[in-house]
Amino acid sequence: MKNILLYLCLSFFAFHSGEDKTRIFLIGDSTMANKLPTDAPETGWGMVLPQYFSEGVEVQNHAVNGRSTKSFRTEGRWGKVLEQMRPGDWVLIQFGHNDQKNTDTTRYAAPQTDYRKNLTRYVEEARAKGGNPILLTPVMRRKFDENGKFVDQHGEYPQVVKEVAKALRVPLIDMHAKSREVIGKMGVEGSKRLFMHLPGKMYTKFPEGKIDDTHFSQYGASVMASLAAAGIKEMGNPLLGLLKTTRFADKFEYELPKIAPAVFRKDTFNILRYGAKSDGITLNTTAINQAITLANEAGGGVVLIPNGFWLTGPIVLKSNVNLHIAKSALLQFSNKREDYPLVKTTWEGQDAIRCQAPISAVEAQNIAITGQGMVDGAGQVWRQVKKEKLTEAQWKKLVASGGVLDEEKRTWYPSQNSLNGVKIQKPGIISAGFNLNNCNEFKDFLRPNMVSLSRCKQVLLEGITFQNSPAWTIHPLLCEHITLRNVIVRNPWYGQNNDALDLESCRNGLVEGCSFDTGDDGICIKSGRDAEGRKRGIPTENIIVRNCTVFHGHGGFVIGSEMSGGVRNLFVSDCNFLGTDVGLRFKTARGRGGIVENIYVSDINMTNIPGEAILFDMYYMAKDPVALNGEKNVLPEMKAEPLGEGTPQFRNFHIKNIVCQGAATGILIRGLPEMPIRNISIENANLSCTEGLVCVEAENIQLKNIGLFTEEKRLMQVQNSKQVTLDGIRYQGPIDLLLHISGQRSADVRLLNTDLKQAKKEVELATEVSAKVYNRK
pLDDT grade, residue 625 (50/70/90)?
A: low
| Interstrand relation of 582-587 and 649-670 (parallel, antiparallel or unpaired) | unpaired
Q: Percent of the chain scored above 70 by pLDDT?
A: 94
pLDDT of residue 18: 39
Q: Percent of the chain scored above 90 by pLDDT?
A: 88
pLDDT of residue 776: 57
Can you tell me the mean pLDDT for 498-515?
A: 98
Q: By the 8 A CB rule, do 448 and 438 touch?
A: no
pLDDT of residue 748: 85
Whole-angstrom distance, CA of residue 708 vs CA of residue 343: 50
Can you tell me the mean pLDDT for 163-189?
A: 97
Give me the residues paired with residue 749 across strands: 724, 773
Whole-angstrom distance, CA of residue 156 vs CA of residue 169: 20
pLDDT grade, residue 738 (50/70/90)?
A: very high
Q: By the 8 A CB rule, do 684 and 705 touch?
A: yes
Higher per-residue confidence, 196 vs 756 = 196
Amino acid at 365: Q
Predicted confidence (pLDDT) at residue 74 exceeds the cutoff of 80: yes
Q: Does the bond joining 41 to the residue before it have cis omega, within 30 degrees of 0?
A: yes
Q: Which of 767, 705, 760, 771 is nearest to 737 (CA)?
A: 760
pLDDT of residue 135: 98
pLDDT of residue 628: 53
Per-residue pLDDT tens digits for 426-440: 999 999 999 999 999
pLDDT of residue 757: 82
Q: By the 8 A CB rule, do 345 and 298 touch?
A: no
Whole-angstrom distance, CA of residue 155 vs CA of residue 535: 41
pLDDT of residue 626: 67
pLDDT of residue 497: 92
Q: Which of 602, 563, 558, 547 is nearest to 580 (CA)?
A: 558
Can you tell me the mean pLDDT for 304-315?
A: 98
Cα dist from 370 to 457, 463, 701, whole Å: 16, 6, 43
pLDDT of residue 636: 60
Per-residue pLDDT tens digits for 12-57: 444 444 357 899 999 999 999 999 999 999 999 999 999 999 999 9
Can you tell me the mean pLDDT for 95-102?
A: 96
Whole-angstrom distance, CA of residue 753 vs CA of residue 720: 23
- pTM here? 0.94
pLDDT of residue 755: 84
Q: Does the bond joining 415 to the residue before it have cis omega, within 30 degrees of 0?
A: no
Per-residue pLDDT tens digits for 574-619: 999 999 999 999 999 999 999 999 999 999 999 999 999 999 999 9
The catalytic residue positions are: 30, 208, 215
Predicted confidence (pLDDT) at residue 208 exceeds the cutoff of 80: yes
User: Is the alpha carbon torsion for 689, 695, 701, 702 positive or negative?
Assistant: positive
Whole-angstrom distance, CA of residue 579 vs CA of residue 259: 31
Q: By the 8 A CB rule, do 428 and 454 touch?
A: no
Can you tell me the mean pLDDT for 669-676?
A: 96
Cα dist from 654 to 221, 594, 604, 672, 678, whole Å: 29, 19, 13, 20, 11
Predicted confidence (pLDDT) at residue 332 exceeds the cutoff of 50: yes
Per-residue pLDDT tens digits for 364-415: 999 999 999 999 999 999 999 999 999 999 999 999 999 999 999 999 999 9
Q: Which of 133, 132, 117 is nearest to 68 (CA)?
A: 117
pLDDT grade, residue 688 (50/70/90)?
A: very high
Query: What are the helix (H) ranges across 413-507?
Result: 416-420
Whole-angstrom distance, CA of residue 251 vs CA of residue 654: 11
Predicted confidence (pLDDT) at residue 9 exceeds the cutoff of 50: no
Contacts of 37 (CB under 8 A, 6+ apart): none
pLDDT grade, residue 631 (50/70/90)?
A: low
Whole-angstrom distance, CA of residue 435 vs CA of residue 437: 5
> How many CA atoms are closer than 13 Å to the CA of 510, on its beta-carbon side?
18
Can you tell me the mean pLDDT for 172-177?
A: 98
Predicted confidence (pLDDT) at residue 151 exceeds the cutoff of 60: yes
pLDDT of residue 744: 81
Per-residue pLDDT tens digits for 261-302: 999 998 999 999 999 999 999 999 999 999 999 999 999 999
